[in-house]
Amino acid sequence: MIKSDFPYFANNNTVYLDNAATTQKPKCVIDSQIEYYEKYCANTHRSNFGDANKATQKFEDARKTIKEFINASKIEEIIFTKGVTESINFIASSFAKKFKTIILSSLEHHSNIVPWHMQKRSLGDGLEVVKCNENLDFDFIDFEKILKENPNSFVSISHISNAFGKIHDIKKIIAIAHKYNAVVMIDGAQSLAHMKVDMQDLDVDFFAISAHKTFGPTGVGAIYVKEKYLKDVTAYQTGGATIHEVDFNNSTLLDSPFKFEAGTQNIAGIIGFAEALKFISNIGYKKIESIEIDLYTYLNEELQKLPNIIFYNEIEDSIGSRSFNFKNIVHDDIGILVDKMNIALRVGHHCAQPIMKQLGIKGTIRVSIGFYNNYEDINTLIKALKKAINMLEN
Ligand SMILES: Cc1ncc(COP(=O)(O)O)c(C=O)c1O
């Protein structure tokens, strides 16, 4: 029923189970972007004619929609970026660089590891990593130990692991970090498609979000910056639309968010992003969560029946992604075979090589669901996996 809102499913009979990589887009998101290009295409915050004013209004309405959706306290706290990768790179270079120690979890995506290496940090030398146990649970004892030894640090941790679907208890992580005077950024790439996030309730300092993981367009995202830190974040790109005044000796910058949004933005994408969030609001997280928990449980039950399957975590405290391998079968081979049966899933390290190395594996088979998937998708997947296993075993 929900699939009918997504044109992809009308045009394609692929069983789409790669939602952690990107989600499909509902018609309203696609239409809102076409409408911009076809009916009022103009640049924002510059010209003063009708369509330009309309484009600016829609762009700023989108910012307001995002602010309300995540319950930020001020509109200036929402800064548009290309996505979570750019959000993290921005904050890493414009704010967190000055911190002596950066604290990560074991489950981080490369987007939250490589930017810190670019600052010449390595394990034990400006970078600390919180251990996880054999069920991939965040080790709070280790976290407190690291914080005690390194007060005033910058903590940068994902909300939900794209590779294993593991949910970090970020409210608890943030509260503990603040006790030790640390500042916290959350990588929320995988959050908004699955659950509500509330900036006030979390009391988070920085929160990175991505439109394309949330039924919105690619190449658009945002970073929430708590008001009290706005004055300490420097602009890491400058140019058109960021300035108050320029001469050949000096430039003065505007206030947030404009001083951080250099050059022409992805206007259609940002309008589409807001539309995606309105689409989620209309369905409601209560419904989304109930569909997903049901489906995720069913997926796990059906996978468990397959011979020689290896999981790396229990499904409690997990959502979206389920990662596994089959004993004596190379994950890539499964990927190649199920692709021929029209199943879209991902095999590999999922941009999370450090945790794969810790587990002593090269990668996994990852099925990642969205709320538009259904039992039929899971049944088709299981049939395809059985067929692939048979082919590889014989
Ligand atoms: C946990 C996590 N962080 C960061 C990213 C990068 O996000 P983006 O594509 O918005 O740059 C991803 C994308 O897979 C992700 O899953």
Q: Ligand 1 within 6 A of 158 CB?
A: yes
- Three-state SS annotation for the chain: CHHHHCHHHHHCCCEECECCCCCCCCHHHHHHHHHHHHHCCCCCCCCCCHHHHHHHHHHHHHHHHHHHHCCCCCHHHEEEECCHHHHHHHHHHHCHHHCCCEEEECCCCHHHCHHHHCCCCEECEEEEEECECCCCCECHHHHHHHHHHCCCCEEEEECECCCCCEECCHHHHHHHHHHCCCEEEEECCCCCCCCCCCHHHHCCCEEEEECHHHCCCCCCEEEEECHHHHCCCCCCCCCCCCEEEECCCCEEECCCCHHHCCCCCCHHHHHHHHHHHHHHHHHCHHHHHHHHHHHHHHHHHHHHCCCCEEECCCCCCECCEEEEEECCCCHHHHHHHHHHCCEECEEECCCCHHHHHHHCCCCEEEEECCCCCCHHHHHHHHHHHHHHHHHHHC
Where in the chain are all domains bearing CATH 3.90.1150.10? 284-393
For residue 288, is pLDDT > 90?
yes
Domain 28-282 is found in CATH 4.10.490.10: no
Residue-wise pLDDT for 95-140, tens only, equals 999 999 999 999 999 999 999 999 999 999 999 999 999 999 999 9
Which of 107, 156, 190, 223 has the most ligand 1 atoms within 8 A of CB, as the residue to mutate?
Answer: 190
For the residues 335-358, what does the mean pLDDT come to? 98
Interval between CA 39 and ligand 1 midpoint (Å)? 32
**pLDDT range class, residue 1, cuts 50, 70, 90:** low
Catalytic residue among 28, 41, 132, 351: 351
Residue closest by Cα to atom 14 of ligand 1: 21
For the residues 289-296, what does the mean pLDDT come to? 97
Residue closest by Cα to atom 16 of ligand 1: 162
Where in the chain are all domains bearing CATH 3.40.640.10? 28-282
Tell me what pLDDT residue 235 has: 94
The pLDDT mean for the chain works out to: 97
**pLDDT range class, residue 2, cuts 50, 70, 90:** confident
Q: Ligand 1 within 6 A of 162 CB?
A: yes
Tell me what pLDDT residue 241 has: 86
CATH superfamily of 284-393: Aspartate Aminotransferase, domain 1 (3.90.1150.10)
Could you tell me the pTM of the whole model? 0.97
Q: Ligand 1 within 6 A of 85 CB?
A: yes
Residue-wise pLDDT for 45-57, tens only, equals 999 999 999 999 9
Quick check: is 132 catalytic? no
Interval between CA 95 and ligand 1 midpoint (Å)? 20
Residue-wise pLDDT for 134-164, tens only, equals 999 999 999 999 999 999 999 999 999 999 9
**pLDDT range class, residue 189, cuts 50, 70, 90:** very high
Q: Ligand 1 within 6 A of 269 CB?
A: no
